[in-house]
Chain A
């Protein structure tokens, strides 16, 4: 039991969504800009907001980032599966949510 808690704590420490999002900022933005044909310079992840980047409670090991389309007025959601304790991201998807 104690081991489990320690493991979870260490997992949380390793998998900090904001730091992962910062590391993969360009890829996450790229997933949106490629799909929606938006200039990457016009997109920004909500890295300064605690709730702007988070681990999904709905789907395990899933990083969720909100992004703001500066010119077109959309809010995007980009998701990715976290692999190797945050060393890799896979299965990037993006959608307009607002």
Chain B
């Protein structure tokens, strides 16, 4: 490198200029001037065009998706406009200065190192964004096994998205994100294409070396080159904004489309009730009902007078499962699901096909003994630091037989036997997803997380802001028991402070403004959302007959996570058709 620069010093009436391909080439002053001028003009043109395309594209996409551009996006768009104008004016001034030979008037930033570090950071960020986008494509096109898919999905939704999509460039810890992306590439066995950064590093070092040894004449050329770099940076920033907006809009659009929109009914309720009966009849006619209406009412109870179920969690810590069963029971689809997938045999055993109404479902057989209380293997054993397990027997949920069978079938499928101890602790959507399979799509809104010290914390849904806050409000406004089922988790209190330890000992807490007490770290079923009065109705699995109606703000304050699913009826009906054609 130094050798090359020294050689150029001996060339008369020539100048040195850096190019991306080779560091030093020989050109005449006039050529350099002409090149700089034409390159600048091209950049103005491309800058303007890029920005226009970006703005039009975003506006079009937001129109298509019916998604209003939020304030942040509007600000970004407006900022982009300003950036274009500023960049344009600046470039014109610079070109004029260059043309008039007033290179000395150009503003040279004293803090070159910082600027180049920023540029490097920008390059890394661009590279990273590119890799994340290609990652999404790879995941779409690769046929992954479900374990890898779940692992990647978790990494992307929980880590990559939260570390890139919602952050400004200066807030992003690139090391963390790069590591995450590498991990995902490893999972899908794709090369992660590092190397761009190394090249960029070399380039920066080369510029520094040139600068330190250049003559005044060369220095003015380097200044001009740096000027070009700045222009490139502006262009790149605009492109990054475009990618960020694209990702954010895509994310929201997909989430909202997945969840669906609740609309007020224009058809009278009696006609809708009648239609649901006809829909059941359609499936009955197709020979898909394994349980008669009479049996259904015997094993699950009637839904007359709006009583969904008398279901009570007992001394097993599977609140999530009982809450999920109750959430399912609140759905008008519950009857269809269980009548097509559950059957009581003459010997008193049950056959449950899981996922429900899935042609590839696995049949789980439940014996009457498996519905009885079972001996607790850990009776009188130490439980935590200061307590002892005082439960001689582990009792199933109390309620109609059908619910007990669902609870037992889930445990048996997951753990190989009805081991109630093993089933303690879990998430409601896990239960729903297992029972619903591909016909259920998960839709979670979660505020709980690990903090910087690695501790688990549940700050509550009220702390969600930006897009997550928007999605939460959208969820509440559009929650429809006809298509959605959800469990919600209360906040968890660790024992680090006095209030938390008191709450933990008491076993319940009450948020400011609420007249209801809630159990910390506990799952509830979400049975109803009244968007007009802005209230949410939840049920404690300890006694599902008791409704707890709370306003939105208390709900957001009290609960930390929503674990929801949406039913894909097309998949359900397609499964039904396939089962029928197989039977024929």
- Does A49 sit at the interface, judged by CB under 8 A? yes
- Does B419 sit at the interface, judged by CB under 8 A? no
B279 cross-chain contacts in A, Cβ below 8 A: 51, 66, 75, 97-98
Chain A: minimal CB distance from B218 (Å): 62
A79 cross-chain contacts in B, Cβ below 8 A: 267, 271
Say whether B282 contacts A51, CB under 8 Å.
Answer: yes
Say whether B266 contacts A93, CB under 8 Å.
Answer: yes
A62 cross-chain contacts in B, Cβ below 8 A: 271
- Does A40 sit at the interface, judged by CB under 8 A? no
Chain A: minimal CB distance from B334 (Å): 11
Say whether A66 contacts B568, CB under 8 Å.
Answer: no
- Does B108 sit at the interface, judged by CB under 8 A? no
Say whether B573 contacts A75, CB under 8 Å.
Answer: yes
A51 cross-chain contacts in B, Cβ below 8 A: 278-279, 281-282, 285
B282 touches which of A49, A56, A57, A72 (Cβ 8 Å): A49
Chain A: minimal CB distance from B269 (Å): 10
Say whether B482 contacts A98, CB under 8 Å.
Answer: yes
A95 cross-chain contacts in B, Cβ below 8 A: 263, 265-267, 272
Say whether A73 contacts B570, CB under 8 Å.
Answer: yes
Q: How far is the CA of A64 from the CA of B332 in the complex (A)?
A: 19
| Interface 0/1 of B543-577, CB less than 8 Å to A | 00000000000000000000000111111110000
Q: How far is the CA of A88 from the CA of B286 in the complex (A)?
A: 31
- Does B414 sit at the interface, judged by CB under 8 A? no
The DSSP consensus for interface residues of chain A is: mixed
Say whether B271 contacts A77, CB under 8 Å.
Answer: yes
Say whether A97 contacts B272, CB under 8 Å.
Answer: yes
Q: Looking across the interface, which residue of chain A has its beta carbon closest to that of B269?
A: A58
A50, A57, A66, A96 interface centre (most CB from chain B within 10 Å) = A96
Chain B: minimal CB distance from A55 (Å): 11
Chain A positions 48-98 with a Cβ under 8 Å from a chain B Cβ: 49-52, 54, 56-59, 62, 64, 66, 68-75, 77, 79, 93-98
Say whether B570 contacts A97, CB under 8 Å.
Answer: no
- Does B158 sit at the interface, judged by CB under 8 A? no
Assuming the A-B contacts A49-B282, A49-B285, A77-B267, are A98 and B274 also in contact, with contact meaning beta carbons closer than 8 angstroms in the complex? no
Q: Looking across the interface, which residue of chain B has its beta carbon closest to that of A52?
A: B282
Chain A: minimal CB distance from B281 (Å): 4
- Does B276 sit at the interface, judged by CB under 8 A? yes
Q: Looking across the interface, which residue of chain A has its beta carbon closest to that of B336?
A: A98
- Does A20 sit at the interface, judged by CB under 8 A? no
Say whether A59 contacts B333, CB under 8 Å.
Answer: no
Q: How far is the CA of A12 from the CA of B416 in the complex (A)?
A: 56
Q: Looking across the interface, which residue of chain B has its beta carbon closest to that of A64?
A: B275
Chain B: minimal CB distance from A77 (Å): 4
Q: How far is the CA of A57 from the CA of B338 in the complex (A)?
A: 27
Q: How large is the interface on A (under 10, 10 to 19, 20 to 34, 35 or more residues)?
A: 20 to 34
Say whether A98 contacts B570, CB under 8 Å.
Answer: no
Chain B positions 245-275 with a Cβ under 8 Å from a chain A Cβ: 260, 263, 265-268, 270-272, 274-275
Say whether B573 contacts A68, CB under 8 Å.
Answer: yes
B270 cross-chain contacts in A, Cβ below 8 A: 58-59
A96 touches which of B274, B281, B483, B568 (Cβ 8 Å): B483
A73 cross-chain contacts in B, Cβ below 8 A: 566-572
B567 cross-chain contacts in A, Cβ below 8 A: 73, 98
Chain B: minimal CB distance from A54 (Å): 6
Say whether A54 contacts B278, CB under 8 Å.
Answer: yes
Chain B: minimal CB distance from A16 (Å): 16
Q: Looking across the interface, which residue of chain A has its beta carbon closest to that of B275?
A: A77
Assuming the A-B contacts A74-B483, A97-B276, A98-B276, are A59 and B268 also in contact, with contact meaning beta carbons closer than 8 angstroms in the complex? yes
B267 touches which of A37, A69, A93 (Cβ 8 Å): A93
| Interface 0/1 of A13-41, CB less than 8 Å to B | 00000000000000000000000110000
Q: Looking across the interface, which residue of chain A has its beta carbon closest to that of B281?
A: A51
Q: How far is the CA of A96 from the CA of B567 in the complex (A)?
A: 13
Assuming the A-B contacts A73-B567, A73-B571, are A46 and B275 also in contact, with contact meaning beta carbons closer than 8 angstroms in the complex? no
B569 cross-chain contacts in A, Cβ below 8 A: 68-69, 73-75, 98
B271 cross-chain contacts in A, Cβ below 8 A: 56, 58-59, 62, 64, 77, 79
Chain A positions 2-20 with a Cβ under 8 Å from a chain B Cβ: none
Which 9 A-B pairs rank lowest in CB-CB distance, beginning with the nearest?
A: A73-B568, A51-B281, A73-B570, A77-B275, A58-B270, A51-B278, A49-B282, A73-B569, A95-B267
Q: Which residues of B contact A (CB under 8 A)?
A: 66, 260, 263, 265-268, 270-272, 274-276, 278-279, 281-282, 285-286, 332-333, 482-483, 566-573
5 more contacts with CB within 8 A, not counting A64-B274, A72-B260, A98-B482, are A46-B282, A58-B268, A68-B573, A79-B267, A93-B267
Between-chain CB contacts (< 8 Å), 24 pairs: A36-B263, A37-B66, A51-B281, A51-B285, A56-B274, A58-B270, A58-B274, A62-B271, A66-B279, A68-B569, A68-B573, A72-B260, A73-B566, A73-B568, A73-B572, A74-B260, A77-B271, A93-B266, A94-B266, A95-B265, A95-B267, A97-B276, A97-B279, A98-B482
